Amino acid sequence: MSQRQGQRGGVPGLGPKRVEGGSEGGGGRMVSASSSVLASQPSNPKRETKDGKQDMELVASNNGGDKNDPSSSSSTSNNRGGKDGNATSTSDRQERPEKEEIYTYEAPWLVYGMNWSVREDKKFRLAIGSFVEEYNNKVQIVELDEDSGKFECTGSFDHPYPTTKIQWMPDRPGSRPDLLATTGDYLRLWKVEKDRVSMECLLNNNKNSEFCAPLTSFDWNATDPSLVGTSSIDTTCTIWNVETSQAKTQLIAHDKEVYDIAFAPSANVFASVGADGSVRMFDLRSLEHSTIIYESQNLVPLLRLSWNKQDPNYLATFLMDHNHVVILDIRSPAEPVAELKGHSQPVNSIAWVAHSSCHICSGGDDRQALIWDLSPLPKPIIDPILAYNAQAEINTLEWSALQPEWVAITLQRRLQILRL
C-alpha cells in the first residue's frame, strides 16, 4: 500500500507522509484586520525560540491586507503554544501581557483525520485520527485547558483502519446527544460522554455481502443534522438518516471512485468529486438528474471538495498531485472563476474561512498554509494575502466555526491550533 493512500481504498495522494522526527512545534501568528478581512504582515519574520530552535515563519504577500499591521511570530516550547504579544516593538512587548499564539498537541502516531467541535460549550475540543497502515487505529478527543495552556486527551477509542474523515455533529447549542462520526470501512457514529466513548451505530447499506466498499469521505448536513452523506470507491454516494439508521437514498454518482461529498448550506443540495475528474451537483428532491459543473483538464482526479457556507454559489476543489486550487461558481459552470497557484507542491487540504464569504485557506506538501482573498473577482487572484510556513507537510487544515480567529492544522504527529 502506498504510504499516502491511507486505508484500503482510501483517496490516492492524500494521507501523511511518513517522516519521523522533526523539530518541536513552533508557531507564528496570522492576524485579522477586521471580522471579515484578513491582513498581511511584514515579510519573513524569523525568531529564535527559548530553546534556541528557529521558529516557524509567517510570510505575507503584497496582495491585499494592511501591510502595516503590527504583529510578530511567537515562540513555542514542546507541547504548548508560544507566548508573545501583539505589539511591534520590544518596548511595547515588555509593557503588554503575553498571549498564546499557537498550541501544539503531540500524538503517539501520525495524524490525518481532524475536526473542530461545534458545540458552544466545547470551543477548544477537537478529534484526531491516527494514520497507521494496519487494521488497528485510534481516534483521540483532545481539549485545550485554557488555564494551563495544554491539550488534554479526554477520550480515546479504537478504530478499524485509518479514518478517512472525522466530523462532530453540527449542534451548536448542545441540545442533542454529543455525537462524533467517522468513515473508513463503514460510517460509524460514536456517543461521547464524560467518562467514556461508545459506538452508537454502524451504518452499512450493503446487506448482501460480507465485504464492503471503503468510504472515502462524508459530510454532515448542518441544516438538517439527521442527514449524513457518504462517498465510496464503488462510484456511489449514500444519504443516511442517522436518526433512523436507514439509508434515505443511494445513487451512482460518478463513473469512477467518488472521493468526496459536501452539502450546500441547505438541506437538499450536495456535490461530489471523484476519480473521473468531475464535480457533480445533486438535489435530493429530484435525483433523476445531476449537473456536471466542472471537469478537469485531461480528467485528472479531483480529491476534495469544499462548499462556501457563506455564499453557496462558490465551491473549491483540487486535483490529484497538482499544486493549485480550483474555485468554481455554480452560476457559470464548466470554467473556473479562479485558480489559486501559490503552492509549489501538491495541495492536500482546503477550507473556507468560517466567517467570510471570500476567504479560503489551502495547505500542502510545501509546508505552507495559504490564505486567499477572493473579493477582487472577477479579476485574477495572483498571490495569497498570508502564508504560514510549517515545519512539515500539512495534511489537513480546518477553521473553527465558533472562533473564526482560530485555525487547526495537522502535520506529522502533531495537531496545532493557530490564532489569527
Which residue type is seen at 401? A
189, 201 Cβ separation under 8 angstroms? yes
CA-to-CA distance for 239 and 274, rounded, in angstroms?
17
CA-to-CA distance for 220 and 197, rounded, in angstroms?
20
CA-to-CA distance for 56 and 41, rounded, in angstroms?
14
pLDDT score for 168: 98
Radius of gyration from C-alpha coordinates of the chain: 21
> Residue 207 is placed in which grid cell?
446487506
Length of the chain: 420
Q: Which of 303, 338, 418, 330 is nearest to 73 (CA)?
A: 418
pLDDT score for 100: 59
pLDDT score for 50: 35
CA-to-CA distance for 131 and 363, rounded, in angstroms?
18
DSSP string, 285-349: T-TT--EEEEE-GGGPPEEEEEE-SS-TTEEEEEETT-S-EEEEETTS-SS-SEEE---SS-EEE
pLDDT score for 17: 60
CB contact set of 383 (below 8 Å; sequence gap of 6+) = 61, 62, 63, 342
Distances (CA, A) of 418 to 12, 69, 83, 86: 28, 18, 12, 14
> Residue 405 is placed in which grid cell?
480567529
Which residue type is seen at 325? V
pLDDT score for 349: 97
CA-to-CA distance for 285 and 318, rounded, in angstroms?
28
> Residue 388 is placed in which grid cell?
504560514
Q: Is 33 exposed, middle or buried (0-12, 13-18, 19+ CB in 10 A)?
A: middle
193, 178 Cβ separation under 8 angstroms? yes
Quick check: helix, strand or coil at residue 251?
Answer: strand
10-residue mean pLDDT profile of the chain (420 residues): values are 44 63 42 34 32 38 39 37 34 42 95 96 96 96 94 96 97 94 97 94 82 93 96 96 95 96 95 97 93 96 96 97 97 93 97 93 97 95 94 96 93 94
Q: How many CB atoms sit inside 10 A of residue 5's CB? A: 16
384, 63 Cβ separation under 8 angstroms? yes
Strand pairing category for 197-203 and 215-220: unpaired
SS3 content of the chain, % helix, strand, coil (to 5): 0, 45, 55
Please report, for the chain, how many H helices and E strands are present, in that order: 1, 31
pLDDT score for 288: 86
Q: Is 134 exposed, middle or buried (0-12, 13-18, 19+ CB in 10 A)?
A: exposed
Q: How many CA atoms lie within 13 A of 313 on its CB side?
A: 9
Name the DSSP letter for residue 278.
Answer: E
Peptide bond into 378 cis (omega under 30): yes
DSSP string, 145-211: ETTTTEEEEEEEEEEES--SEEEE---SS--S--EEEEESSSEEEEEE-SS-EEEEEEE---TT-S-
Q: Cα angle vertex 252, ends 250, 255, to 5°?
A: 160
Quick check: helix, strand or coil at residue 48?
Answer: strand
